[in-house]
Amino acid sequence: MEIKVSDYGSIELMSNTCNGDLLVVNAARCSFDKQHEIYDETKDTKLINYLAREGHVLPFRHPVATLRIHCPIFVLRQLGKHQVGFSWSEVSRRYITGEPKFWTPTELRTRPENIKQGSAEGDFSWGYERRVVAETKQYQEESVGFYNKLLEGGVAPEQARAVLPQSMYTTCVTTGTLLGWHHLYKLRTEEHTQLETQEYANAIGEIMGDIFPNSWSALNGESS
């Protein structure tokens, strides 16, 4: 399963715990030394809903999922702040020197006057937006040119990469528990989160809802 995000971005499901919902209920029943071989849509779903509703979240730490995330550096830095229940491995430009790709805005947002972070709907003229987007692309191209010039001059990639902007795309492989992914999703889809990061968090939520349908629904409070 792979979901495209923005222009070059994507999130791909690499692996996950099979029968994750069944693992949740069997982990919960461990206290009574019991387990089910097959998921019971009625009884087991009722148990999952109870666990989520009452805050008994430990069983949701057992299923895991591994995603390959391709996104701008500034997005990954926000996602990567979540460390509990996760393992992160990222592409390193100490070892690769291929042509980088960049995220560029399609429209601009304004800085709100009453808060320290976030953004608001922009009221820029069409001409100004087009000029900023064009200049952004030019700056990105120039940074690549200087990066390649440094490499051609014998500068080590680990130093040359410093001239590349945060809008450059990077790739990581991330493994997290179901509960960890839900915590990330919950925080990174809040309205004050940067819009571009919300797009990736929503894609993560779509994948988790597909592979852990009952547990994900219960954690989101969508079940009774």
Catalytic machinery residues: 188
- Other CB atoms within a 10 A radius of the CB of residue 175 amount to 18
H or E element at residue 49: helix 43-54
Residue written as tokens 């940074």? 143
Which DSSP state fits 59?
A: G
6 three-class SS: coil
182 and 208 Cβ atoms separated by less than 8 Å = yes
Angle at 150 between CA 145 and CA 155, to 5 degrees: 160
d(CA 2, CA 224): 30
Closest CA to 164 of 174, 154, 149: 149
Question: What's the start-to-end Cα distance of the chain, in Å?
Answer: 29
Beta bridge partners of 173: 68, 89
